[in-house]
Chains A and B, each alone.
Chain A
Amino acid sequence: MKTGMLAFIIRRALQAIGVLLTVGIIAFAMFRFAGDPVNQIVSLDTPAAEREQVRLSLGLDDPVPVQFARYLFRAAQGDFGVSYQFRQPVSDLLAERVPATMELALCATIFATVFGVLMGVYSGLKRDSILAKVFQTVSLVGISLPTFLIGILLIYLFSVTLGWLPSYGRGDTVRIGWWTTGFLTLSGWTALIMPSITLGLFQMTLIMRIVRAEMLEVLRTDYIKFARARGLTTRAIHFGHALKNTLVPVITIVGLQFGSVIAFAIITETVFQWPGMGLLFVQAVQNVDIPIMAAYLMLVALIFVVINLAVDILYTVVDPRLRTTIRQPA
């Protein structure tokens, strides 16, 4: 079993490398697509000889494949070049911003999963109750309202009108090594509440709807009927037998959505001026800061690939039937 799992992970890792290479090509192509990089580095009155000097020093006279190989080689070591606007290494800029986005995405996902599963199970089990119908209606709102609108509404209500929660920023953060965290201060937590809800609301309604549909599906199966015929308690049937069978699709959604949550944090971060990667990316787009955009692209691709792999491994933990398929690949 161990070797089968290892082979599976290696196979998936090779696929992941393929995906990252492709994204690397796209990211690299951006540099050339957006015009001559030299023009973006030098000022307007730089003499031609000096421009040539810059071109040579950056290796821009080498053939394109060589440049691409060099870009990938450096990217693999975490070197994404220097930001045009900040004149700082892109990797340092990203590292500074990663904790803010990760903590926000984590809180949003936990919020979405906990409430999504609870509401989904409830409306699956008591689908005719009034509360279940309220959940269904609210979830429709959550799915149809755009993120920025929800964020602005929350700010209007809780920051402007009631004055309970801060409307922007992360609050006070504590530095642990290179990571800055908002989890250790009260203002950090209060600053997290509204952005997390804004970012997680869509996922929450999605998870709720999927859990509800899966619960209804599973409750109709023969093994649930048989479990009832064996006289098991309602509690054991609902939460032991039914809920566990709804988990596979939930893991898929939570996993894949976690990537989206990170990627689409852009809007939430803009609304709440959250100092994360998304905000950095928006600034980069406004200033045509290609190195940041390219690095962000590759980072998001990496996150997606890692999450997908983790989701596949998690499946086998939940569903024993998949362990056999992995052990004996068809």
Chain B
Amino acid sequence: MSQPVLSVRDLHVEFVTRRGVLKAIDGISFDIAKGEVLGVVGESGAGKSVTGSAVVGLIDPPGRIAGGEVILSGMRIDNLPPEELRRVRGKRIGMIFQDPLTSLNPLYRVSEQLVETIRTHTNLSSSAARKRAIDLLAEVGIPAPDRRIDSYPHEFSGGMRQRVVIALALCAEPELIIADEPTTALDVSVQAQIITLLKRLGRDHGTAIMLVTHDMGVIAETADRVAVMYAGRIAEIGPVRDVVQNPLHPYAKGLMGAIPSLEVETDRLVQIPGSMPRLSAIPTGCAFNPRCPFAFDRCRVERPEPIQRDLHRVACHLYDETTIRAEALA
């Protein structure tokens, strides 16, 4: 197997506050291969977006990367000096944010923002950069790009603006795109278009994509593998089909079970009891134990480490050898 485009090893992110150090990301590891789409799901505050920001080094004080490694195509980038890290951002890693209405600077023409980004990362002349900008807009599906390029962001619709944002992320043909909730702010019909576009771009250019979302539907349609995050850790990671159809972690089970089905009629929507703990009050042991229907004594004291089970990797004591043996004996 070839070297992964992105490899995150035991990453820790902390926020120093007046009330102490909050662990937003508590030791996560994952890989994304060339051309692969990794979906990252979880509730709000699970650490999905922070993971994306940490990979590109955009964690602002009081936050900081407290440990671990971020490796981009074999090169460690989390410890680069700021100026070198800046050259990686936008050139080798493109980012797409949630709200296209606020991601673009309202005072500059789309052409100015595209040309500026292209010329920051390449040696193209301004006319060559402009030509490339028009090609990019055409590629992301903006009609009549040679005319539209000189419009201001407010002259585009939300979906069109997100296409512009994607074009901006593609400026320097990055190896990896981090899409942080790229469809959340869009209409459902536009969401599908943007997802199709992202998939096509990933396939055409062999770009690895890290897709952060809380929308399981988007993940199921788009991702090759999925990581389910809970309270700053990866609860379960595996091929999307397996995780959706046969989740192992009780939290992943709850999450998949909460997707309403069209085949079975239900009066009440299924939900996981309780809510995710605040960062300042993460329970000892497994962070999910107060909400977990299967929790036993060990879950309340010892933090589960990830265990490989077939194609999944799951952080749950239920799948530990000793537990399984104990169950078999009982």
Contacts and interface: CB of A to CB of B under 8 A. Distances in A.
Given A228-B58, A233-B120, A222 B99 contact: yes
Interface residues of A, number: 23
B95 A232 contact: no
Interface stretch (B101-109, B202-210, B287-295): B101-109
Interface in B135-152: 152
Contacts of A63: none
A319 B105 CA distance: 11
Interface in A217-256: 221-223, 225-234, 236, 240-241, 244-245
A324 interface: yes
Interface string A59-83: 0000000000000000000000000
B200 interface: no
B103 A226 contact: yes
Interface in A16-31: none
A232 B104 CA distance: 13
A223 B104 contact: yes
20 contacts: A223-B103, A223-B106, A225-B58, A226-B95, A226-B104, A228-B86, A229-B94, A229-B97, A230-B89, A230-B120, A230-B168, A231-B90, A231-B121, A232-B90, A232-B117, A234-B86, A236-B120, A245-B105, A319-B106, A320-B107
Interface of A: 221-223, 225-234, 236, 240-241, 244-245, 318-321, 324
A230 B106 contact: no
Interface in B39-54: none
Interface of B: 56, 58, 86-91, 94-95, 97, 99, 102-109, 116-117, 120-121, 152, 154-155, 165, 168-169, 171-172
A88 B68 CA distance: 84
A231 B82 CA distance: 11
Given A229-B56, A231-B89, A321-B154, A241 B95 contact: no
Contact of A231 (B91, B103, B109, B152): B91
Nearest to B92: A231
Contacts of B91: 231
Question: Most chain-B Cβ atoms within 10 A of its Cβ — which of A230, A240, A319?
Answer: A230
B154 A230 contact: no
Contact of B97 (A222, A245, A324): A222
A221 B120 contact: no
A234 to B, nearest CB: 8
B99 A230 contact: no
Contacts of B90: 229-232
A231 B87 contact: yes
Contacts of A320: 106-107, 109, 152, 154
A241 B153 CA distance: 14
B108 to A, nearest CB: 8
Contact of B58 (A229, A245, A319): A229
A238 to B, nearest CB: 13
Contact of B102 (A222, A231, A319): A222
A233 B119 CA distance: 11
A321 B121 contact: no
B120 A232 contact: yes
